[in-house]
Amino acid sequence: KAGVTQTPRYLIKTRGQQVTLSCSPISGHRSVSWYQQTPGQGLQFLFEYFSETQRNKGNFPGRFSGRQFSNSRSEMNVSTLELGDSALYLCASTVEGRENEKLFFGSGTQLSVL
């Protein structure tokens, strides 16, 4: 069974640009969450999608957005990139996000903003 797949693995952008990251969850998983990991702030929750609807949202500015497609694949978009957006962006999936389920993480997309 394939794991959570994130593409691309590495990305370099410049300030002011926008970027789209992709996440393909494990087959059968309908809940997809996104986390940002930085050396200074650690791991912070961005948002969760379930059945194409945003179910939870973290405390990030509106420049960060996401969506989920009918096949459960998810994308997150960051507009008007800032240097502080440089981070490892992790995607995680689970069947429905219930307490008895295990959360599976992808290897992440390393975004560098120059």
Partner 1 sequence: AQSVTQLGSHVSVSEGALVLLRCNYSSSVPPYLFWYVQYPNQGLQLLLKYTSAATLVKGINGFEAEFKKSETSFHLTKPSAHMSDAAEYFCAVSRNSGNTPLVFGKGTRLSVIA
Q: Which residues form the interface with partner 1 (CB under 8 A)?
A: 4, 31, 33, 35, 42-45, 48, 56, 58, 90, 92, 94, 97-103, 105-108
With tokens 């069974």, the residue in question is 1
Rank residues 39 and 62 by Cβ distance to partner 1 and give the closer one. 39
Q: What secondary structure letter does DSSP report for 71?
A: T
Q: Return phi, psi of residue 79, to 5°.
A: -100, 160
Q: In what order do the strands lie in the sheet with 74-78?
A: 5-7, 19-24, 74-78, 64-68
**Shortest reach from residue 49's CB to partner 1, in Å:** 10
| Nearest partner of 46 among 110, 102, 90, judged by Cα | 90
Rank residues 20 and 45 by Cβ distance to partner 1 and give the closer one. 45
Neighbours of 18 (CB within 10 A): 11
**Shortest reach from residue 106's CB to partner 1, in Å:** 5
Rank residues 10 and 16 by Cβ distance to partner 1 and give the closer one. 10
- Six-digit token string for 50: 């379930």
Rank residues 70 and 100 by Cβ distance to partner 1 and give the closer one. 100
**Shortest reach from residue 15's CB to partner 1, in Å:** 25
**Shortest reach from residue 54's CB to partner 1, in Å:** 12
